[in-house]
Chains A and B, each alone.
Chain A
């Protein structure tokens, strides 16, 4: 019995089944190759990243300077609270910096707690005269980001 006569004996429902199996097989095999290529590309791209690029990830488009994030984590003790204070003139800031830098540090610096009256300051070109006391800078970069605490 040839294929044509076999097909002609199939009911409408069985033709539908054949259609689904055929289409899913063809698409599955074609897109399997594409999926592997894509997944390999992602794996290679991730592999070439530095440890800090991987850990900061989305923060790379927010924090401007990775060192600021790592210095904040190194300098501010776990048990201390901190606040992120922003200004308007951070060099090399992205459109995401000012809207999201505070929430990103909340994620990154945990278990340190953000608090409005914290002595530890992560200052993004902030107005130091409005911090509520004399500001002692412990670390700063050339973009106008500094980390310090109120004396």
Chain B
């Protein structure tokens, strides 16, 4: 059963990759097949995001999520994206002569091998793991089972299960996994998170290899992957790491757009931010952090940059409107904070302990080693090298995210000032900050190393 289920997951994720490749064709195309291989992680993450968002829209309007619907939806997205790409002038490269994907340095070979071994070990650890996390069996997987068994958002289960307002992209993805596995296999479904995680790693490598020196990419990548909290929780059947993965790649794409101004980067970021907001409510705060930080650092070019940034943010937020309307129509909880306005002020004594909890969690060695201090050193080094826009962007996103973490405890008096996941989700929330650091540190290091002689784009070489 397990091998059959794994084969089903492989098929689902190849399908998502295929749809993502079509979307990538519309977004930017590729000049060689090697370039497509390099960007296959990006295509996969975008494929998951686009399919996931459309599945949720379909479920909201009452279209069941069965195997046929999954195939038709993916096919429709792929055809539309291919036509759009063709209209935009994209063409496939010649068939012959696959150029090498990239010249792999000795350092890349060593660290790449270590990361491959790590991913294999992560796969084995998740292959036969049960659902132990409360949120997983209490509502994430039950919502997925409800979609699998009843097709849509079953009235009874989506009313009775806790956390009604949590966006349903992850349950929809899990339900799709159940269909491809042939049964609601709650053991093997954990491996869907492995595919997401491996796709995330591939996306980071695809976007940064060629842009930054291998020395600035591989060691920080391995370092973050082996942090204790990530090792222990990357495959939890919840929505936290999918949110973090969508968000981190989106933040990286926005950072690249700030330096390179290639519109596809912003469009792809918008798709991923939409998926982040459809994954967890915290996605709204994370997306706002990225967009507002980008708006601030482009103040001097606001006439050219702001309309695009605002459009990216608005389109991403608009993608979540159907779900919000659905909550209203069904009279389900909208999931707002327990405190707002004067309520926050009357609980002002919670502000400082909330901020302290957020910061102490980020700097907790047993959770995240020294990822955050190194991220801050990288920001400072980039500033010291004369860079402004990139380190300012990263610093602002950091500040906004810390503020969001603090608000998340302050505005919910039912949450204790504790890192115990049963009392406060702060540890899970900070994963987004850590993956953000992972994807942006290589850019910061690259910029800092080049110093004041850095080219305008501040990159090793632009590969597109």
Binding site for B on A (CB under 8 A): 11-17, 19-21, 23-25, 27-29, 31-32, 34-36, 38-40, 42-43, 46-47, 49, 53-59, 103-104, 106-107, 110-111, 113-114
Does chain A have a CB within 8 A of B445? yes
Which residues of B in the span 344-395 have a Cβ within 8 Å of any Cβ on A? 369-370, 374, 377-378, 380-382, 384-386
Residues of B whose CB lies within 8 Å of any CB of A are 111, 114, 117-118, 121-122, 124-125, 127-134, 136-138, 141-142, 145-146, 149-150, 156-157, 160-162, 184, 186-187, 215-216, 219-220, 222-223, 225-228, 231-232, 369-370, 374, 377-378, 380-382, 384-386, 441, 445, 448-449, 451
Distance of A103 Cα from B227 Cα, bound (Å): 33
Query: B223's contact among A28, A54, A55, by CB below 8 Å, is which?
Result: A28
Task: Check A39 against B122 for contact (C-beta < 8 Å).
Answer: yes
Question: Are B378 and A16 in contact (CB-based, < 8 A)?
Answer: yes
21 A-B residue pairs with CB within 8 Å: A11-B384, A11-B385, A16-B381, A16-B384, A17-B445, A21-B216, A24-B222, A24-B223, A28-B220, A32-B226, A35-B225, A39-B124, A40-B125, A43-B125, A57-B131, A57-B187, A59-B137, A103-B138, A107-B141, A110-B184, A111-B145
Query: Who on chain A is nearest to B117 by CB?
Result: A36
How far apart are B422's CB and chain A's nearest CB, in angstroms?
Answer: 11
Nearest chain-A residue to B449 (Cβ)?
Answer: A17
Contact yes or no, A31 B451, CB < 8 A: no
Complex contact A28–B222 (CB within 8 A) = yes
Q: Contact check, B378 vs A20: say whether CB atoms are below 8 A apart.
A: yes
Q: Which partner residue on chain A sits nearest B381 by CB separation?
A: A16
User: Given A16-B380, A28-B219, A104-B137, do A46 and B129 touch, yes or no (CB 8 Å)?
Assistant: yes
A15 to B327, CA, bound (A): 53
Given A13-B448, A14-B451, A21-B215, 20 other A-B residues pairs in contact with their CB atoms under 8 A: A13-B384, A13-B385, A16-B377, A16-B384, A16-B448, A17-B378, A17-B381, A21-B219, A24-B223, A29-B222, A31-B223, A35-B121, A35-B231, A39-B121, A42-B125, A43-B121, A57-B132, A59-B137, A106-B142, A114-B160
- A39→B231 contact, CB < 8 A: yes
Which listed residue (B145, B226, B370) contacts A23, Cβ 8 A? B370
Q: Taking chain A's interface residues, is the majority helix, strand, or loop, or is none over half, making it mixed?
A: helix
Contacts of A59 in B (CB 8 A): 137
Give the 7 A-B residue pairs with the shortest CB-CB distance, closest first: A57-B130, A16-B381, A13-B385, A28-B223, A111-B149, A24-B223, A28-B222
Find the residue from A12, A57, A104 having the highest chain B CB count within 10 A. A57
Q: Decide: B121 and A36 in contact? CB cutoff 8 A.
A: yes
List chain B residues, Cβ under 8 A from A113: 156
CA–CA, A119 and B13, complex, Å: 42
**Docked complex Cα distance between A43 and B222 (Å):** 21
Residues of A near B445 (CB, < 8 A) are 17, 20-21
Known: A16-B378, A31-B226, A31-B227. A56 touches B441 (CB 8 A): no
Q: How far is the CB of B126 from chain A (nearest CB, A)?
A: 8
A32 contacts B118, CB within 8 Å? yes
Residues of A within 8 A of B121 (CB): 35-36, 39-40, 43
Which residue of chain B has the shortest Cβ distance to A47 in the bound complex? B128
CA distance A38 to B215 in the complex (A): 27
CB distance from B135 to the nearest CB of A (A): 11
User: B220 touching A32 by the CB < 8 A rule?
Assistant: no
B449 and A13: CB pair below 8 A? Answer: yes
CA distance A36 to B113 in the complex (A): 13
Contacts known (A27-B369, A28-B223); A111 close to B128, Cβ less than 8 A: no
Residue in B145, B227, B382 whose beta carbon sits within 8 Å of that of A107 in the complex? B145
* Set of chain B residues within 8 Å of A56, measured between Cβ atoms: 130
Which residues from A are CB-within-8-Å of B138?
A: 103, 107
Is the Cβ of B130 less than 8 Å from the Cβ of A55? yes
| Chain B residues near A114 (CB-CB < 8 A) | 160
A55 touches B220 (CB 8 A): no
Bound-state Cα–Cα, A21 to B216, Å: 7
Contact present for A106 and B149 (CB under 8 Å) = no
A residues less than 8 Å from B122 (CB atoms): 39
Closest to B447 in A: A13
C-alpha gap A106/B451 in the complex (Å): 59
Specify which of A15, A16, A40 lies most central, judged by the most chain B CB atoms within 10 Å of its CB: A16
Beta-carbon contact of B222 and A32 below 8 Å: yes
Residues in A with CB closer than 8 Å to B146 are 110-111
State whether A27 and B134 are in contact (beta carbons under 8 Å apart), knowing that A16-B377, A17-B381, A32-B114 are contacts in the complex: no
Residue pair B377, A20 in contact (C-beta under 8 Å): yes
Given A23-B374, A24-B220, A28-B226, A17:B448 Cβ within 8 A: yes
Which B residue sits closest to A27, measured CB to CB?
B223
The docked-state distance in angstroms from the alpha carbon of A34 to that of B215 is 22
Hey, which chain A residues are within 8 Å of B226, CB to CB? 27-28, 31-32, 34-35
* Other-chain residue from A14, A16, A54, A107 in contact with B130 (beta carbon distance below 8 A): A54
Q: How far, in angstroms, from A83 to B232 measured CA to CA in the complex?
A: 35
How many angstroms from the CA of A55 to the CA of B131 in the assembled complex?
A: 8
Chain A residues positioned under 8 Å from B137 (CB to CB): 57-59, 104, 107
Give the shortest distance, in Å, between B190 (CB) and chain A (any CB).
10
In the bound complex, CA of A12 to CA of B451 (Å):
10
CB atoms of B448 and A24 under 8 A apart: no
Question: In the complex, are the beta carbons of B370 and A27 less than 8 A apart?
Answer: yes
Contacts of B216 in A (CB 8 A): 17, 21
**CA A31 – CA B221 in complex, angstroms?**
12
Is the beta-carbon distance between B448 and A58 smaller than 8 angstroms?
no
| Nearest residue, chain B, Cβ from A59 | B137
